[in-house]
Chain A
């Protein structure tokens, strides 16, 4: 299976998408590609999960979507962070940092 070992941890998917979209409005494929590149291939998303997650975030009111033309003149659905989404991103970022730090501390102790 292609996604072995690179499955996005449940719950971090939202954070990754929100963070990626916060830089500039982007379409689904762009988001997936960006996450993969920046994470140097650690995180890969399959299109089904990604598009489902985008629907969920849009419903939650954290993303706005509109159909636009891309630079290579295709029609695509572009997602943009809303104000509520920005706040959510801050919360999730802080949350992630806190937990990551905690895990790091624990690991240090064990060692």
Chain B
């Protein structure tokens, strides 16, 4: 138990420091007394005996020091003393301390903030049981990939699967919510009975769906979200087992989901994180040509690989496509991705880019702090040299330097936690759109560990400069030069540091420039409609009669120009309706090859949103199921199907549902109009061509009203709501917002990234300018004598100024050259974030360069002016 004794003695030493020290002192004193006594016995006088004892045994102080420093507890105390010394040194030079801590705080803090995103989004597993085995299964059909699948396909995938132990599907749609209060529209998740257990180990109350719910005459059942249960059922646990009205019938509540349950699906999956309640859907070999509407999740069998799952899906897809009675879909494939990987596939690159940007900021900060430390080391060179000459070992001197930087960096790290926390709060507060479908972003132990590790790495980097200064010490020679340092070599390392800072700042500037130009392009882009003064709201209603009543009622409001309705608003990714289309009479292998976005509208829709009809006419109330079935297509489709010809009067095969909501069937439609493409999903990409059909051919229980007002009408929401309520027709109204806010939201991603990049660039630029300023100022101080002599022998002020500016411009030009090369290599990484601008855009490069040279010149101005004010006399006398 030797270690135990060590600990005991050590702790005893720490706790009873005084007693332990006194005991040693007593022992040393006794030793020297005995030694002196021995001399006295030999006849020495008191005084001589003591002196002789000292001659023999050395001085008691040295013995005391040696005996006292034994033990691990005293090693700790030495470091503590160094740290104490370091804090005192920092206190003595508060400007240095504040600058260093601030720069490190910002640099490390930015890293902390971005790392907490990386940690929460990329590293932390999704909050589901066996999350690493969850995969998302997608299909490719014709020209569309990442598409949902039909129940028939899901059934075939499940049959005899070796790679998956569960395959489940979900389809989210809008319904009126059950429960007390006004009728309200919400989200229902229609799921296969095996779906919920994949995402949640157990319900808060009751049970999840099971095989019993799939039986043919099983009663309709629902599982409520925690939020709905609290809000609409008053958190009543007795709700389990009772029937609640759902749709036109009623369902039995069998369970309540745990609090905070969220579906973290990829952004384009049309599965929102918060679904209000769930209904089950029996799995079966439905009609082989049924609609593809299910978003499918598979759980890999224990030990099964993703590759095995993919090859299994490939052969399943072939088998499905070869099923007799199933229309052959060209280019039909099934594939699987890890759910988390797929969730973050868009955001991952952006996050890594931001991570790179904050790393640049940190590096620039490090270079500045290293510079500061170097200047300090030079200022203290005389002191250090003397200590070295007096016998302090290099190791001891280094230990002290290390402790000092470590204390500085630790303070910086503490500041960084504050900065990081605040930055994180700020970023989360602006709700970056691409994170909305992902889990919460928080600071946790891993982030703290990361920050600490970065701080340690930073102190290692920034100590290199002063350490090398200590290692180069040659006390004998240096003392002869009476403390004047060797400025030549060290100013070269300062040049390198500043050039590096400028290079990194240049890269950030160019990246930011490209992103800002992209944002400007996105703001300028014509979405195919005019959102100004258009207000939208979603209604859930029993039938088309009521829909037309609502349209008439809203049109009657004062200040309203026109009112119409659409099944899916542009730039609103709340669900989508899309299906295969082909030229009427196309060969079998050309059918099912292309997908179009389908929209159900009432007459007047195009005029209300100012979509531009380029040919033909809008719908009229006469375009219904009883008359010729007609459609309006967009110019993308017209050009694709009939290039160089008019599309009017041509026939296409598409799907509609004249027999009632969601009863989709293939139909032949005559094109009566062509409209310019409306940006439906993003502002920047033409995702699919569009087909509009009259509401009469595709009725839906939930539609979005679009209302064009003649001017700004702040109280339109209230007025519209009141007007609809006055109809007394049990219409649920939700999602009241301006169409322009949908456009805003579509720009949010680009705005978020470019604003963040701009902030980082500003910080980086300021740090780099600070670096230029600091190094040049110091250089002017060092060269005071030289400048004085120059002026004494007749140099003009302008010449001196030129001299200083020339010195300052050296690292700036080297930095810009290096930065340009670095940008050429790194900017292509930004490509996926850019819109209508090339990564090599010369204007951006030129502008960034001008900005850096100008601002750098301004940073040099102060030291340069100071140099011109040096009076030759004082300069010469002070040295």
Chain A residues within 8 Å of B, Cβ to Cβ: 2, 27-30, 32-33, 46-49, 51-52, 55-56, 59-61, 72, 74-77
Contact between B5 and A61 (Cβ–Cβ < 8 Å)?
yes
Q: In chain B, what residue has the closest Cβ to A51?
A: B67
Contact between B31 and A46 (Cβ–Cβ < 8 Å)?
no
A74 to B32, CA, bound (A): 12
Contact between B5 and A47 (Cβ–Cβ < 8 Å)?
no
Contact between B31 and A56 (Cβ–Cβ < 8 Å)?
no
For B35, the chain A residues whose CB sits under 8 A away are 29
Contacts A2-B56, A51-B31 known; 20 new A-B pairs at CB < 8 A: A27-B34, A28-B27, A29-B35, A32-B31, A33-B38, A46-B57, A46-B58, A47-B57, A47-B58, A48-B65, A51-B28, A51-B67, A52-B66, A52-B70, A55-B71, A56-B70, A60-B5, A74-B34, A75-B26, A76-B30
Contact between A51 and B23 (Cβ–Cβ < 8 Å)?
no
Is B6 part of the binding interface, using a Cβ–Cβ cutoff of 8 Å? yes
Contact between B33 and A74 (Cβ–Cβ < 8 Å)?
yes
Give 19 A-B contacts (CB < 8 Å), ordered by A residue: A29-B30, A29-B34, A46-B57, A46-B58, A47-B31, A47-B32, A47-B63, A48-B64, A48-B66, A49-B66, A51-B67, A59-B5, A59-B9, A60-B2, A74-B30, A74-B34, A76-B27, A77-B23, A77-B26
Chain B residues within 8 Å of A, Cβ to Cβ: 2, 5-6, 9, 23-24, 26-28, 30-35, 37-38, 55-58, 60, 62-67, 70-71
For A49, the chain B residues whose CB sits under 8 A away are 66
For A77, the chain B residues whose CB sits under 8 A away are 23, 26-27, 30
Q: In chain B, what residue has the closest Cβ to A45?
A: B57
For A72, the chain B residues whose CB sits under 8 A away are 37
For B58, the chain A residues whose CB sits under 8 A away are 2, 46-48
A60 to B2, CA, bound (A): 6
For A32, the chain B residues whose CB sits under 8 A away are 31
A47 to B26, CA, bound (A): 13
- 3 shortest A-B CB distances, which residue pairs? A48-B66, A29-B34, A48-B63
Contact between A55 and B67 (Cβ–Cβ < 8 Å)?
yes
A46 to B2, CA, bound (A): 27
Q: Given that A72-B37, A74-B33 are contacting pairs, would A51 and B2 also be in contact in the complex, using a CB cutoff of 8 Å?
A: no
A77 to B67, CA, bound (A): 14
Which of B26, B31, B55 contacts A29, CB < 8 Å?
B31
Q: In chain A, what residue has the closest Cβ to B2?
A: A60
Q: In chain B, what residue has the closest Cβ to A76?
A: B30
Contact between A28 and B56 (Cβ–Cβ < 8 Å)?
no
Contact between A27 and B71 (Cβ–Cβ < 8 Å)?
no
A2 to B60, CA, bound (A): 15
Contact between A59 and B6 (Cβ–Cβ < 8 Å)?
yes
Contact between A51 and B27 (Cβ–Cβ < 8 Å)?
yes
Say how far B526's CB is from chain A's closest CB, in angstroms: 83
Q: In chain B, what residue has the closest Cβ to A49?
A: B66
Say how far A76's CB is from chain B's closest CB, in angstroms: 5
Q: Given that A48-B63, A74-B30 are contacting pairs, would A55 and B70 also be in contact in the complex, using a CB cutoff of 8 Å?
A: yes
For A51, the chain B residues whose CB sits under 8 A away are 24, 27-28, 31, 63, 66-67
**Residue with the greatest number of chain B CB neighbours at <10 A, chosen from A28, A46, A55, A76:** A55
**Residue with the greatest number of chain A CB neighbours at <10 A, chosen from B31, B32, B56, B58:** B31
Contact between A61 and B2 (Cβ–Cβ < 8 Å)?
yes
A44 to B37, CA, bound (A): 18
Q: In chain B, what residue has the closest Cβ to A61?
A: B5
For B37, the chain A residues whose CB sits under 8 A away are 72
Say how far B41's CB is from chain A's closest CB, in angstroms: 10
For A55, the chain B residues whose CB sits under 8 A away are 67, 70-71
A95 to B56, CA, bound (A): 32
For B63, the chain A residues whose CB sits under 8 A away are 46-48, 51
Q: In chain B, what residue has the closest Cβ to A30?
A: B34
Say how far B724's CB is from chain A's closest CB, in angstroms: 87
For B26, the chain A residues whose CB sits under 8 A away are 75, 77
A33 to B41, CA, bound (A): 15
For A75, the chain B residues whose CB sits under 8 A away are 26, 30
A33 to B62, CA, bound (A): 19
Say how far B501's CB is from chain A's closest CB, in angstroms: 50
A56 to B5, CA, bound (A): 11
For B34, the chain A residues whose CB sits under 8 A away are 27, 29-30, 33, 74, 76
Contact between B28 and A47 (Cβ–Cβ < 8 Å)?
yes
Say how far B57's CB is from chain A's closest CB, in angstroms: 5
A11 to B71, CA, bound (A): 18
Say how far A103's CB is from chain B's closest CB, in angstroms: 29
For A61, the chain B residues whose CB sits under 8 A away are 2, 5
Say how far A4's CB is from chain B's closest CB, in angstroms: 14
For B33, the chain A residues whose CB sits under 8 A away are 74
Q: In chain B, what residue has the closest Cβ to A27?
A: B30
A77 to B27, CA, bound (A): 7
Contact between A28 and B30 (Cβ–Cβ < 8 Å)?
yes
**Residue with the greatest number of chain A CB neighbours at <10 A, chosen from B33, B34, B56:** B34
Say how far B226's CB is from chain A's closest CB, in angstroms: 61
For B55, the chain A residues whose CB sits under 8 A away are 2
Say how far B67's CB is from chain A's closest CB, in angstroms: 4
For B2, the chain A residues whose CB sits under 8 A away are 60-61
Say how far B12's CB is from chain A's closest CB, in angstroms: 10
For A59, the chain B residues whose CB sits under 8 A away are 5-6, 9, 71
For B6, the chain A residues whose CB sits under 8 A away are 59
For A27, the chain B residues whose CB sits under 8 A away are 30, 34
